[in-house]
A and B are shown apart, each in its own frame.
Chain A
Amino acid sequence: MGGLLLGAWLFPINLAVAQSRVSSSYEETLRIFVDALLPADDLTPAASVLEVHTQILKDAAQDTVLQQLIADGCQWLEQSIGSLATLDSAQLERLLLAMSEADWDSGPKNFFYQIRDRAVTYYYADSRAWAGSAINHPPQPVGYPEIIDFK
Chain B
Amino acid sequence: MTRPDVIVIGAGAGGAATAWRLTQRGLHVLIIEAGPRYEPARDYKLHTARWELERFPFKPGAQGKHSFDVNVPLAPKWDDLHSWNAVSGRLNRSGERVVADAGYHHVRGVGGSTLHYTGESHRLHPKSMKLHKDFGVGADWPLSYADLEPYYTEAEKLVGVAGSKGEGARWRSEPYPLPAHLLCKASRHIAEAAHSLGMHWQANSRAALSRPYDDRPACNYCGNCGYGCPIGDKGSADVTFIRHALASGRCTIQPDTQVTRLMSNADGRITGIEAVNAQQGVQVLEAPVVVLAGGAVETPRLLLNSATSTFSKGLANGNGQVGRNFMDSLIWVSTGMVDAQLDSYKGLPADAICWDYNAPDGIPGVVGGCRFTSATQEMGLTGPVNYARRIVPGFGAKFKQDMRSSLGRALSVSGFGEMLPNEDTRIELDLSRRDASGLPLARIRSRLTEQDFRRLRFMAGKCREILKAAGVKTLVEEFSTYDYFSATHVFGSCRMGEKPEDSVVNAFGRAHECKNLYIADASIFPSTGGGESPSLTIFALAIRTADHIAQKADRSG
Residues in chain A within 8 A of chain B (CB atoms):
36-39, 41, 44, 93, 96, 100, 104, 113, 116-117, 120-121, 123-127, 129-130, 132-135, 138-145, 147-148, 150
Contacts and interface: CB of A to CB of B under 8 A. Distances in A.
Interface stretch (B49-57, B148-156, B313-321, B525-533): B49-57
B54 to A, nearest CB: 9
Contacts of A132: 404
A125 B396 CA distance: 17
A144 B382 CA distance: 12
Contacts of A124: 52, 383-385, 387-388, 403
Does more than half of chain B's interface fall in helix, strand or loop, or is it mixed?
Answer: loop
Contacts of A37: 395-396, 399
Contacts, number: 119
A144 B395 contact: no
Contacts of B397: 39, 41
Contacts of A117: 87, 389
B346 interface: yes
23 contacts: A36-B396, A37-B399, A38-B400, A116-B395, A117-B87, A121-B53, A121-B385, A124-B52, A124-B384, A124-B388, A132-B404, A133-B403, A134-B404, A138-B47, A139-B46, A139-B224, A140-B46, A141-B220, A142-B220, A143-B221, A144-B221, A144-B223, A145-B221
B287 interface: no
B407 A140 contact: no
A141 B383 contact: no
Contact of A135 (B50, B181, B407): B407
Contacts of B346: 144, 147
10 smallest beta-carbon distances between A and B, as pairs: A143-B220, A144-B346, A120-B388, A139-B222, A124-B384, A140-B46, A143-B222, A148-B182, A147-B346, A127-B49
Nearest to A92: B396
Contact of A44 (B382, B389, B400): B400
Given A39-B396, A133-B403, A144 B385 contact: no
A32 to B, nearest CB: 13
B341 A134 contact: yes
A142 B230 CA distance: 11
Nearest to A143: B220
Give the most central of A113, A120, A127: most B CB within 10 Å: A120
Given A36-B395, A134-B408, A140 B231 contact: yes
B482 interface: no
Contacts of B223: 139, 144
A113 B93 CA distance: 15
A93 B49 contact: no
Interface string B214-254: 00000111111000001100000000000000000000000
A117 B388 CA distance: 8
Given A113-B88, A117-B389, A148 B407 contact: no
Given A134-B343, A148-B181, A148-B221, A139 B51 contact: yes
A124 B87 CA distance: 16
B48 interface: yes
A147 B343 contact: yes
B205 to A, nearest CB: 16
Nearest to A148: B182
B50 A125 contact: yes
Contacts of B50: 125
A105 B180 CA distance: 50
A44 B385 CA distance: 15
Contacts of A135: 345, 382-384, 407-408
A121 B53 CA distance: 8
A121 B183 CA distance: 30
Interface in B20-63: 44, 46-53
Give the most central of A130, A139, A145: most B CB within 10 Å: A139
B347 interface: yes
Contacts of A123: 388
B184 interface: yes
A136 to B, nearest CB: 10
B185 interface: yes
A55 to B, nearest CB: 10
B407 A133 contact: yes
Given A93-B396, A140-B222, A104 B49 contact: no
B490 to A, nearest CB: 28
